Amino acid sequence: MNKNTVKDAGAKMMNIAHRLVLAVSGNRLLAEPFGMPVVELHTIGRKSGQPRSCYLTSPVRDENRVILVASKGGDDRHPDWYRNLQAHPDAELVIDGQRRKIHARTANAEERARLWPQITEVYRGYANYQTRTTREIPVVICELEGTR
């Protein structure tokens, strides 16, 4: 088994554990890890065409948009959820228990330059993740339906 397979399996197990803890605790435990609210992203698999979901944290959000960071813990590869959004940018987020339609896009250079300091102020771990990889970690702007 190669290193990436082990990493990917660990990430999937962590997502399953997070989902379980949230369900058992009535969304009280692990609802804001590192001070960031958790959102549940629902995408369509880029290869399979099947529904996919995962829990992510959102370091920045307002009434019009939710910002996600495609860090994958500083891995050299983009996370699957990000690649799914690149293929199918219309998706859904569960925010504060409410399922909302979104249109996702990668922040352009100017937007990223403006958002990155806000993101790393909320969670310094993202700055550390960026030092672990040569790829520029994408910042994803999820525009909530009805606000574009």
Q: What is the mean pLDDT of residues 5-32?
A: 52
pTM above 0.85, yes or no: no
Q: Is 86's pLDDT higher than 70?
A: yes
| pLDDT at 15 (0 to 100) | 53
Decide: residue 30, CB within 10 A, 0-12 exposed, 13-18 middle, 19+ buried: middle
Tell me which amino acid residue 80 is.
D
CA distances from 96 to 31, 54, 60, 66 (A): 9, 15, 14, 12
Q: Is 104's pLDDT higher than 50?
A: yes
pLDDT tens-digit map of 43-82:
999 999 999 999 999 999 999 999 999 999 999 999 999 9
3-state SS, one letter per residue, for 12-28: HHHHHHHHHHHHHCCCC
Query: Of the ranges 15-24, 28-37, 105-114, which one carries the lowest mean pLDDT score?
Result: 15-24
Q: CA angle 22-78-53, nearest 5°? A: 30
**Better pLDDT: 22 or 129:** 129
Tell me which amino acid residue 88 is.
H
